[in-house]
Amino acid sequence: MMGAELKKKIEQHEAKIGVIGLGYVGLPLISAFFSKGFSVIGYDVDSKKVDSLNAGKSYIKHIKSSEVSQWRESGRFEATADLSRLSEADVLLICVPTPLNESRDPDLFYVEETTKSIAKTLRPGQLVILESTTYPTTTRDVMLPILEKTGQVAGKDFYLAYSPEREDPGNPDFTAAGIPKVVGGYDPVSLDLATTLYSQAIVKVVPVTSCEVAEACKILENTYRAVNIALVNELKTLFDRMGIDVWEVIDAAKTKPFGFQAFYPGPGLGGHCIPIDPFYLTWLARKQGLTTRFIELAGEVNSRMPEYVITRLAEFLNERCKPIKGSKVLLLGVAYKKDVDDPRESPSFVLMEELLRRGADLSYNDPHVPHLPKMRHHDLPAMDSVELTPESLAAQDCVLIATDHSSYDYDFIVKHAPMVLDTRNATKTVNSHREKIHKA
């Protein structure tokens, strides 16, 4: 009966949507449901984020402040750090971080703490959906017991589902509303409610038979990418030694209209998902008494790429009779991918740590990250993005391109820098001063 009532509220867009975790996944979800007429309440323990949103200001590049102001002015959105208000929402979407711990095992602290907070206010008829990337069985084995400690029963008193986020920050062709949504429910009623919910705001919903299938789907998607990126990273090191341009090889191979998808090398993997998900899978395999050697090897290859870049930098500086120690190195880009302001798991932080350890005189520029943020697993000094001028570029011993933002004028950079180390093939169209450019 309660399920039927909730479904009716969802279909009539009268259900209040609660989004827990107001970051790169949470804000696009708010945008998707708000645009379809739903009222949304955002929850986050970070009071700075809450205050910013309630003031009509965004802190994420692809969600404009003008849009947040619209949310607020409509009276259909507010943000709060008060988790005792979780009972006000009919549907709760969990979009909290799921990082790795120091031993590269899954760290579900935020999922567990959020679930405990929900349990404190859980009321009959609520639908709870986990969107955070995680390993198969998390919804059933981690969340369900916490929620059922309240005495309420999943599928009867409340409803539970999993639907993995599929955000692609910086890609204007794909918004949260325009990417198909995979949904797995704990039981048939939960699946029906979750499918009905996302169908109101998302272009296509793909129901699957269980939460575990939906969880495994996300792991597969990102492990597929990690393994293929590892392949081209390994080929890059081989082809570099042979004097073959791996970028030209990939461009040639992708002319084949079948049987090949282009992946590209780089200085390492970044973002919340691709560097992390394969380790979730290898951890789960160990629990099952199995080893995933292929996936573990891919993780090792990708993890070694920052070290390879530093080795190449040392070689090129050595040709100019310079050691890394004391050399002025300007790193371009600390965001994990081009044209975004998201620094999570960016290989730039590993590069910066290693350059500082070796005694480099380090600076950085990133038009999307003006101040170097504090990162959980990296210990770097406070730094601000330096302006790119003819003088600042000429003063460097090397400019290291770590992230290929579109806003960079690569002709200008190559013209004024004494040496450029390009890890992204960003300078491929630069025709003058080619002698200054090295690939890594």
Residues noted as catalytic: 273
Rounded to 5°, the CA angle 94-99-103 comes to: 150
Assigned token pair, 254: 């992708």
Q: Reduced to 3 states, what is the DSSP secondary structure of residue 80?
A: strand
Run of H or E including 232: helix 211-242
* Distance from C-alpha of 348 to C-alpha of 333, rounded to nearest angstrom: 7
3-state class percentages of the chain: helix first, strand second, coil last, to nearest 5: 40, 15, 45
Burial of 365 (0-12, 13-18, 19+ CB in 10 A): buried
Assigned token pair, 389: 């001028």
Q: Which of 49, 82, 87 is nearest to 68 (CA)?
A: 49
Long-range contacts of range 145-153, CB-CB < 8 Å, 24 or more positions apart?
146/112, 146/115, 146/116, 146/119, 147/115, 147/118, 147/119, 147/122, 149/119, 150/119, 150/122, 152/122, 152/124
